[in-house]
A and B are shown apart, each in its own frame.
Chain A
Amino acid sequence: MVQPLNYLKESASQTAGPYVHIGCTPNFTGITGVYDKDLGSGPMATEKTRGERITIKGRVIDGSGTPLRDAMIEIWQADADGFYNSPSETRGKADPNFFGWGRCPADMVTGEFYFETIKPGTVPFNDGRPMAPHVTLWIVARGINIGLQTRMYFSDEEEANAKDPVLTRIEHRVRVPTLIGQRDGDIVTFDIHLQGEHETIFFDI
Chain B
Amino acid sequence: MNHGLTEDQASILAGLDQLLGSRAPAAPTHPVTFIHDAALDGAIAEAGFLDIAREPGFGALDAALIVERLARLPCALEAAASAIVAPALDIAAGLRPIALATDPAAAVRHLPMARALLYPRGEAAVLIEIDPARVTPVETLFAYPYGRLDGLEGLAERVVGEAATLRRRWRIALAVEAAGCMAAGVAAVVEHITTRHAFGRPLGSFQAIQHRLARAAETTEATKWLAFRAAWTDSEADAAIAAGFAQQRIAELTYDLQQFSGAMGLTLEFPLHLWTYRLRALAGELGGATVQSRAAAAAAWGD
Answer yes or no: do A and B interact. no
Q: Which residues of A contact B (CB under 8 A)?
A: none
Residues of B with Cβ closer than 8 Å to A? none
